[in-house]
Amino acid sequence: MRLEDRIAVVTGGGSGIGRAIAQAFAAEGAKVAVTDVKGDTAEETVAALPGEGHRAFENDVSSGPGVVATFEAIDAQFGRVDILVNNAGVDKTPGDGFDQLMKTGMLLVHMSDEGFTRMLEINVNGVFFCSREAVKLMLREKRGGAIVNLSSIAGLSAQGTVHYAASKSAVLGLTRACARELGPHGIRVNALCPGVIDTPMAAAIPEAAIKPLVGATPLRRVGQPEDIAAAAVYLVSEESSFVTGQWLSPNGGLVMC
């Protein structure tokens, strides 16, 4: 088993990609702290994990004080953190004018300040808050660590809405800066940039928009959460011990860069 006795935190682990990552980590021997803004879904994930000692925590990653309290609780339960996956994220926000995108093909001019800011609060501030608290624990233990941040093909090639693409590009910048700063401490930081993955988030994309994307994908299918989980296991295991500050994009060939 590749992650035996490692303590892993997976944010947004109550659904989709985060749930699959928690399952893959547990199958590789890790003890997993599953956090989600919907605490009941985090509990459901934990109940289905193989092995013992996993725990669920209700946490909104966009709240700085809330994240501090959650990592204190994780530290009290597990005594350290070896792995963090910053997976929690949204692709729509209240007031982002998404209905207008469907009607007019434009989002920028219809988006409210709040709609844009809320996206950054969850998708970017959340990564910052969780990374900061996890890294404090990693530095304390002097055992190194591994962080994986969920960006997207939207962060690479702007396939996606303006606020989502901006947030996922920011995640890549944060990933690289953290990798540079933390490498000397044995902490590796990498990003995943999934293509279209079959989760509740992608289920909300209209079929009319999905079909041409699949047609333009050389592998002619959407991805499964397990495709991303396998890549996450690689990025936090010893197999990738010389990999930091990079992104890996399981996307079926839709985006090549």
* Active site members: 164
* Per-residue x/- track, 228-247, ligand NAD (CB under 6 A): --------------------
Q: Which residues partner with 86 through β-bridges?
A: 149
Q: How far is the CB of 35 from ligand NAD (least distance, A)?
A: 7
Q: Give the interface size with ligand NAD as a residue count (CB under 6 A).
A: 30
Which residues, 6+ apart, have CB-to-CB distance to 53 below 8 Å?
A: 31
115 is a site residue for ligand NAD (CB under 6 A): no
- Which residue in the set 22, 34, 37, 135 belongs to the binding site for ligand NAD (CB under 6 A)? 37
User: Segment near ligand NAD (CB under 6 A), from 11-19, 67-75, 178-186, 236-244?
Assistant: 11-19
Tell me which DSSP letter residue 83 carries.
E
15 is a site residue for ligand NAD (CB under 6 A): yes
- Which residue in the set 7, 8, 12, 127 belongs to the binding site for ligand NAD (CB under 6 A)? 12
250 is a site residue for ligand NAD (CB under 6 A): no
Q: How does DSSP assign 109-178, residue by residue?
A: GG--HHHHHHHHIIIIIHHHHHHHHHHHHHHHHTS-EEEEEE--HHHHH--S-HHHHHHHHHHHHHHHHH
Question: Could you tell me the CA-to-CA distances from 237 to 169, 227, 243 in Å, in that order?
Answer: 25, 16, 10
Q: How far is the CB of 223 from ligand NAD (least distance, A)?
A: 7
Q: Is 47 exposed, middle or buried (0-12, 13-18, 19+ CB in 10 A)?
A: exposed
Question: Could you tell me the CA-to-CA distances from 153 to 11, 160, 168, 171, 252 in Å, in that order?
Answer: 20, 8, 8, 12, 11
- Which residue in the set 16, 97, 250, 252 belongs to the binding site for ligand NAD (CB under 6 A)? 16
Nearest residue to 178 (alpha-carbon basis) of 249, 237, 77, 246 = 246
User: Segment near ligand NAD (CB under 6 A), from 15-23, 72-80, 103-111, 233-241?
Assistant: 15-23
Identify residues 150-209 at the interface with ligand NAD (CB under 6 A). 150, 152, 194, 196-197, 199-202
Query: How far apart are alpha carbons 165 and 155 in whole angstroms?
Result: 5
User: Segment near ligand NAD (CB under 6 A), from 67-75, 82-90, 100-108, 230-238?
Assistant: 82-90
By the criterion CB under 6 A, which residues form the site for ligand NAD?
A: 11-12, 14-18, 36-38, 41, 59-62, 87-91, 122, 150, 152, 194, 196-197, 199-202
